[in-house]
Amino acid sequence: MKKTFAQTFITDLLKAVGIEVNGSHPWDIQVHHEGFFPAVLHHRNLGLGEAYMNHWWDCERVDLFFERCIRGNIHHKISADWLLTLKIILYLMINRQTKKRALKVGKKHYDLGNELFTAMLDKRMNYTCGYWKNATTLDAAQLAKLELVCQKLMLKPGMRLLDIGCGFGALAKHAAEHHGVDVVGITISKNQLEYAQKNCAGLPIELRFQDYRDINESFDRIASLGMFEHVGSKNHETYMQVAHRCLKDDGLFLLHTIGNNESELHTDPWIEKYIFPNGLIPSIAQIGKSIENLFVMEDWHNFGADYDKTLMVWHTHFNAHWHEIQHHYSDQFFRMWNYYLTSCAGVFRARYLQLWQIVLSKNGVAGGYQAPR
């Protein structure tokens, strides 16, 4: 049977980066449905992800497949479809992260079910990148991350810490138990809040279902782990202004965020539709613009390669415990979640995305700031 243009184009594109259709390497893809090729040609990343969810193709190691694709710049060799172009225009016109719209990611992603995250995450329930410098297990890497944050913030007993996007309460609990601070944590996920309140019971921790824009209190320290990705470029400066007004003059603010090598106004369309609606990965330039005239940048630490390790362990845990939770989810969800974890691991391994911890002060730390590593 004669090959279609879509089949020839996609096959040749993959071959150029060492990926064979129906090949034998773990990064090669096995195509089960002829609709795969036009789906990828016309809808790029969205078509690729949806085709995987629909069983149109498989790959033994999706992480290796994505690493090769990213390193080969395949994403720059397929023209954007008209729908993506339209979305970019709309992103320029509309604030997609208003208070009302911001609640969508809480409902769609973080409220998927605490049993899912309990099965996948470490025992402290950290849903952000671990710090693997001296760690060999996920629990150790996440504990090292929490302690690194506390050390960078130079926490002292009696201080008041604001945790913006507190998740399941891992940082709040660690900071209160081991550094003697009082914590206010905010989240827009009702499931996370319920878990965190139980997790942190009996400690000097106040947890709230609250938008960051509604905070107007004074804190010695502020931390935000894995939340800035949901703020959106139209709200970056607002977010920083909130942090500035809430931070004492001699305070420190630690921002832990995934980082983009390029400034973009839209997120990956598959991630946007199925995983994190209304999100946007910030770039150095976008963060820099948002902190100008507000903060002094004291330290900028990149350990993005550690997210690859973190995601692959989450992937292992998810699959190992799937039989315990599968009655809550569909087969399509199983494929979607595996695709999410392994594709993201490959993207971080290719160094297309980063993980930054940025320490900011209002007036500059007297004598200079020395960041632990």
Token pair 């200079």 in the structure block, residue:
368
Question: Rounded to whole angstroms, how far apart are CA atoms 358 and 352?
Answer: 19
The residue extents of the domains of the chain are 5-79, 98-361
Active-site residue identified among 59, 69, 200, 344 = 344
Question: Rounded to whole angstroms, how far apart are CA atoms 130 and 140?
Answer: 8
pLDDT digits (tens, 9 = 90+) for 281-296: 999 999 999 999 999 9
Residue 108: pLDDT band (50, 70, 90) is: low
Question: Rounded to whole angstroms, how far apart are CA atoms 110 and 230?
Answer: 12
CATH top-level class of 98-361: alpha beta
- Closest to 365 in 3D by CA, of 252, 287, 289, 278: 252
Question: Rounded to whole angstroms, how far apart are CA atoms 293 and 371?
Answer: 22
What are the tokens at 369?
């700031």
Question: Rounded to whole angstroms, how far apart are CA atoms 224 and 291?
Answer: 15
- Does residue 95 or residue 220 have the better pLDDT? 220
What are the tokens at 39?
């789906």
Q: Phi then psi for 60, rounded to 5 degrees?
A: -60, -40
- Does residue 266 or residue 117 have the better pLDDT? 117
Residue 97 pLDDT greater than 70, yes or no: no
Question: Rounded to whole angstroms, how far apart are CA atoms 295 and 313?
Answer: 36
Per-residue pLDDT, 168? 97
Q: Residues with Cβ < 8 Å from 276, sequence gap 6 or more? A: 105, 109, 229, 230, 267
Residue 304 pLDDT greater than 70, yes or no: yes
Whether residue 150 lies in the annotated active site: no
Instruction: Measure Cα distances from 79 to 68, 75, 346 in Å.
Output: 19, 9, 22
362 in Cβ contact with 296 (< 8 Å): yes
Per-residue pLDDT, 80? 54
Residue 63 pLDDT greater than 70, yes or no: yes
Question: How many other C-beta atoms are found inside a 10 Å radius of the C-beta of residue 100?
Answer: 8
Per-residue pLDDT, 95? 67
Give the chain's mean pLDDT.
93
Give me the helices (H) in 121-277, please.
138-152, 170-179, 190-199, 236-246, 269-274
Beta-carbon-side half-sphere exposure of residue 137 (alpha carbons within 13 Å): 6
Residue 114 pLDDT greater than 60, yes or no: yes
Beta strands, E only, the chain: 29-31, 57-59, 160-164, 182-187, 205-209, 219-225, 247-260, 296-302, 353-361
Q: What is the mean pLDDT of residues 303-329?
A: 97
- Predicted TM-score of the model (pTM): 0.93
Sign of the CA dihedral running 71, 74, 76, 82: negative
Residue 188 exposed, middle or buried by CB count within 10 Å (0-12, 13-18, 19+) = buried
